[in-house]
Amino acid sequence: MNVGIIGAPGYTGAELLRMLVEHPSLKVTVATADSHSGQGAAELYPSLAAAYPDLVYSATDVERLDGLDLVFLAMPHGQSQALVPELAGRVGHLVDLAADFRLKDASLYPTWYGAEHRAPEWLKRFAFGLPELFRSELTGAPLIAAAGCYVTAAALALAPFVRAGLVETTGIIVDAASGTSGSGRGLRDSMHFAHVDGDFSAYGLLDHRHTPEMEQAIGAQILFTPHLAPMTRGILATCYARPAGVSTTAEAIEVLQTAYRSEPFVVVTEAPSGTKATFGSNCAHVTARVDPRTGWLVVLCALDNLVKGASGQALQCANLALGLPETAGLPMAAVYP
């Protein structure tokens, strides 16, 4: 099947290229990039030189995508809204990695993203791309909005407890730290090595744009505080909720084991995992504790923000949409050390 990537020079586009070269059924035939048009992928990313020695980024031209089986939109938020209405009838399946079509309620976009949605009539046509929680909506879906990295970590940690009615659904706290690649390739002063190295900081206090997506995916009220960690990849989410039916750590871990027993990309652990355990893989590691002293349930999730939190998730969703094996082309093992 022929695949196109719009926004291929970004980090998520590069990750898609890395994984698709090993996919048994998908072949990249178009990779667009307006700012790097005419440049070779191997020049921009030497890591892709052996896999794509002759791939050259082209300017974004909708007509070049006509008839493709699958197109990934790997662009910054806001850009897909203009492209989707034009592309949807030309290609078999669209998977958007940005937040443009994740929220079902168009009225949330001005509050959390600072602008009215430009194609609100399309929102309800997109399936939400988090397979472990919404697989039935993704099978055969022509339009998919892949879930964000923070949202994936928090939802995989908390959704099993919320869905089973085992926690209170208000006042849930999510503290999550991400590596610098989460902000993309764009240059910002705050992302310079001298700013990030040796520092650990919170941002987006009380109003981070992924909050409503978390609440939609989890089905509960969330107070979310993201942090920037001095590392390239990874997310560690530490989530706190008041139990309403689970009283011991063993019971909490059993909830996770029951929810993810048949999931190839979720590992339930006894000991807490760090981000290094997921580096480069499409796996998420989750564990839980119940503190009898304070009465809090603590659930942790570690994942690679560029793989399970972005490109790997998008490919996992695409496999489901196309009727392919869900694990095809996706890395199971992390890179270590």
223-257 pLDDT per residue, tens: 999 999 999 999 999 999 999 999 999 999 999 99
105 and 135 share one domain: yes
> Do residues 65 and 71 make contact, with C-beta atoms less than 8 angstroms apart?
yes
**Domain range spanning residue 202?**
149-305
202 and 235 housed in the same domain: yes
Q: Give me the active site residues, please.
A: 149
Regarding whether 110 and 8 lie in a shared domain, the answer is: yes
190 and 255, same domain (yes or no): yes
User: Are residues 204 and 246 located together in one domain of the fold?
Assistant: yes
Q: DSSP letters along 285-298, please?
A: EEEEEE-TTT--EE
Mean pLDDT of 163-186: 93
Do 192 and 293 sit in the same domain of this protein? yes
- 9-61 per-position pLDDT tens digit: 999 999 999 999 999 999 999 999 888 899 999 999 999 999 999 999 999 99
Average pLDDT over residues 163-191: 89
Say if residue 187's pLDDT is above 70: no
Give yes or no: residues 222 and 246 share one domain. yes
Closest residue by Cα to residue 100 from 88, 111, 84, 89: 84
86-119 confidence digits (pLDDT tens): 999 899 999 999 999 999 999 999 999 999 999 9
Beta bridge partners of 297: 241, 290
| pLDDT tens-digit map of 196-230 | 999 999 999 999 999 999 999 999 999 999 999 99
Look at residue 329 and tell me if it is in a domain. no
> Do residues 111 and 174 share a domain?
no
